[in-house]
Structure 1
């Protein structure tokens, strides 16, 4: 199928509860609620037939509505606990919009609200990779600072420190280790079949879209928030 004829939906799933950073999804970041940056990126990409925000929080949904989102999906309580996986929330959101519109989407893109440093080109690149390679899904990551073959260690039950992953021969330089990446939770892309027939993050044909470290910070702590805020302010000052 020609990619121009594919129907695409973007989901943005944002829970109300947050232990690391209180109310982080709507906390003000350089003048805007955090979630607003992701919503604006989705609009600016011009990729999506529909954009939907899923949340258990009325306040988050109200903020999303103020930024032009018409599909405000109330997430069931069982999908909004601290231990609930995100994937069921994504499929619930997609199914809900499909039921409202009586349609089906070919490509599903989930953008994490806590990764505001991504660019529109990152979104376009990840979607293009899925649709040109005809794979089940695409995930995003940045080159890892640490290697499980070289300087990433685990503490065993005997309190002995060991490398996380052993190689056939000793690796004395990180550059000689197999390439490793840190998942940045920024962009997830699925084909329809990939999402609903194989609802996992890692499938037999999962592809990787690599993003630089400076666009890969996922806000999960106060320190993360401060770093992102610093980088955004620096970017804004550079444009003045």
Structure 2
């Protein structure tokens, strides 16, 4: 710690009560394949700026998920687990049991697009710039009108002139709290404040400012997360190759057999997904452990290479990587079987269909809504493309 910097124990704290009126079990409901709370816990852990990461909960189910994501758990009391309990009261109770904590970063579980970089910058504001409290905001360009629903009378504009409505590009907009996080010193919180002392805001990007409160927010948040969310430390700088298990990803895993030959089927939507990647210079290769006949392979009429009778998928992928001069962080891998697990762990971007085996789903991969043979490859291809577009915009 450099001279003049604020020291002390900095704890990330996520409040996650078990009871949710709007969306049952909201905090651990799956969003884009991950428990909602998992998105912010991963961002907090990967930021590397916290001395400890905690979840305050009254739920056994939430406790298990929290521990799965590497967080410690504070079992809050019934007194601070009511519908009427404020965040401040819950944080104050946490501090009573954890006097070693000097600064609290209260991170909202329902802000799944939070990125580690945001947390790192905020901690610098606390540690280096000496702010006592920092909270997140987002900039909106919204015209406000006087509310006359209860008072009656005529409405009037409150932040603009109707005779000279500003264009968006000529107006800086206004800052609104988005609730993503509130950092404050323990001393300030004990006095009854989350915002106070030497105070500052941190402006988040609009695309990262996502909040989930009611059911209608869920599908919108899911699409935003898939495009702008944080997917871990291994986010690729470039994606050169997608390797996909043919059996159970391109197909639904079933084989149709008659006396002459076997037949398999695939979804034309997945064919479109493969073409979309090829058009963006991402090579696609399919892989299978089975010894499929050349006549069957040619009948598939797929625009990519297929390698069959592969006993060791990792060795096969690494052989291709060597020829391409690429590394694992430039590889996307989609699998569904136990034999795919190691490749899913190594790949910079990995995905699994909805009906993949448990071991494959536990590799922290992107979990598709669709099963193998029912559009999973298209869904994962769209995810890869969104990552590439997001990288290109930086």
TM-score (norm 2): 0.53
- Cα separation, 1, equivalents of 2:76 and 2:137: 27
**What does residue 105 of structure 1 align with?**
101
Question: Cα 1:28–1:108, aligned 2, differ >3 Å: closer, same or farther?
Answer: same
Matches within 5 A, 1:47-86: 47-69=49-71, 71-86=72-87
Q: Which residue of 1 aligns with 2:46?
A: 44
After superposition, the Cα gap between the structure-2 partners of 1:185 and 1:171, relative to the gap in structure 1 and judged at 3 Å, is: farther
Structure 1 match to 2:334:
none
Q: CA deviation at 1:2?
A: 4.7
Partner of 1:9: 11
Preserved contact between residue 133 and residue 197 of structure 2 (Cα < 8 Å): no
Q: Distance in 2 between matches of 1:56 and 1:112?
A: 16
* 1:205 equivalent among 188, 198, 209: 198
Structure 1 residues 121 and 159: CA distance shift in structure 2, 3 A = same
Q: 1:114 aligns with which of 105, 110, 128?
A: 110
Aligned to 1:93: 94
Secondary structure class of the residue paired with 1:8 = strand
Give the SS at the match of 2:94: helix
- SS of structure 1 residue aligned to 2:101: coil
| Cα distance per residue 1:135-187 (max 9 Å; x no partner) | 221110100232xxx524312533335358579x9884356878521211111
| 2:140 equivalent among 133, 137, 144 | 144
Instruction: Provide the C-alpha distance between the structure 2 equivalents of 1:107 and 1:207, rounded to a whole number of angstroms.
Output: 15
Q: Which residue of 2 aligns with 1:195?
A: 189
**Residue range with higher mean Cα deviation, 80-89 or 175-184:** 175-184
| 1:94-114 alpha-carbon deviations (Å, 9 max, x no partner) | 33233xxxxx23321111110
State the match for 1:183 in structure 2. Answer: 177
Going from structure 1 to structure 2, the CA distance change for 1:77 and 1:172 (only over 3 Å counts) comes to: farther
Give the whole-Å Cα distance in 2 for the aligned partners of 1:13 and 1:62.
15
Q: Which runs of 5+ in 1 are unaligned?
A: 99-103
Partner of residue 129, structure 2: 133
Q: Please give the TM-score of this superposition, normalised by the length of structure 1.
A: 0.83
Give the 4+ runs in structure 1 shifted more than 4 A. Answer: 163-167, 174-179
- SS of the equivalent of 1:222 reads coil
Which of structures 1 and 2 has the bigger CA Rg? 2
